[in-house]
Amino acid sequence: MEPMTVRPDGQQDAAGGCACAPWKASVVAELAEVVQNRAVNGEYRHMVVHCSAEAAAAQPGQFFQLLCPMPPGEAPFLRRPMSLYGAFPDRRQVEFLYKVTGAGTRGLDMLKPGDRLDIMGPLGTGYRLDPGLRHIVAVGRGAGLATLAPLARAARLNGSKITAIFSARRPDLVVSVDLFRAEGAEVITVTDQEQTSGPANVERILRGLIAEGRCNAFYTCGSSRLMRVQQRLAQEYGLPGQVAMEQQMACGIGLCYCCVRDFNVDGAIVNRRVCWDGPVFDLMEALP
């Protein structure tokens, strides 16, 4: 962990809010050290890195921009966004769960414990967990499971119960189930193979949870189809919800406007940067 940002060198924020507090980086690009990097199933890999306190303070729903090593014959140029899968401020570690899909993630795949990885974060606005929330539902699919994962512990610490509905192509591709159960969550898995993952079935499950009073808010990521189901139910029952969105990114910190999406804000279509205004947005404002 060699922070590569400018050292807070005592120069003062001359005319700013508090003229006496020296400026301090809240996002750092640093060389973290890989602690572990291994497959968890046929699709996903789990990486743990040792990093700075700033990075390890990441919140659920935030993400990092990883500067991926170059696999032979390829030269990923931009950083790659990866959701926080777990943050452990005490042992200064953050974790990622990723799927190898292209040049960048092929580069990540090469990393071995002890190697350095340039990580930049924490970035974006994460999930909000309001103090009073009694019972929340997390609905995810694909890489969305990675994004939702840190909610399990955060919900427990917030005193909120959590029910997770995890969708995947096959049962062996569902990840984080143990992690959620360990935090006291109930996990329902639905899969394409078992033909349980269709929106109709998920809607049925969700209506059941709502009826039982076990759904005071939706937290979702990774599936537009399932997002639409939740939007409908949130509307019908007046429930709040949050969704983490994906978009191709260059800077990851609000500079370039390549990651914009349209949102429906009180009937008006508004353009927002996923990296900066999100990646977590109000469920009702999101457009698929």
Ligand X SMILES: Cc1cc2nc3c(=O)[nH]c(=O)nc-3n(C[C@H](O)[C@H](O)[C@H](O)COP(=O)(O)OP(=O)(O)OC[C@H]3O[C@@H](n4cnc5c(N)ncnc54)[C@H](O)[C@@H]3O)c2cc1C
Quick one: 189 or 247, whose CB is closer to ligand FES? 247
Q: Which of 13, 130, 194, 236 binds another protein (CB under 8 A)?
A: 13
Site string for ligand X, 80-99 (x = CB under 6 A): xxxx------------xxxx
Quick one: 12 or 248, whose CB is closer to ligand X? 248
Quick one: 133 or 145, whose CB is closer to ligand X? 145
What is the SS3 string spanning the chain? CEECCCCCCCCECCCCCCCCCECCCCCEEEEEEEEEEEECCCCEEEEEEECCHHHHCCCCCCEEEEECCCCCCCCCCCCEEEECCEEECCCCEEEEEEECCCHHHHHHHCCCCCCEEEEEEEECECCCCCCCCCEEEEEEECCHHHHHCCHHHHHHHHCCEEEEEEEECCHHHCCCHHHHHHCCCEEEEEECCCCCCCHHHHHHHHHHHHHCCCCCEEEEECCHHHHHHHHHHHHHHCCCEEEECCCCCCCCCCCCCCCEEEEEECCEEEEEECCCCCEEEEHHHECC
Quick one: 23 or 77, whose CB is closer to ligand X? 77
List the single partner that 105 binds among ligand X, another protein, ligand FES, none, CB under 5 to 8 Å by kind. Answer: ligand X
List the single partner that 97 binds among ligand FES, another protein, ligand X, none, CB under 5 to 8 Å by kind. Answer: ligand X
Regarding 120 and contact with ligand X (CB under 6 A), the answer is no
Quick one: 144 or 233, whose CB is closer to ligand X? 144
By CB under 6 A, name the binding residues for ligand X: 63, 76, 78, 80-83, 96-99, 101-105, 143, 146-147, 246-249, 279
Where does this chain bind another protein (CB under 8 A)?
Answer: 4-6, 8-9, 11-17, 23, 25-29, 67, 75-79, 120, 247-248, 250-258, 260, 271, 276
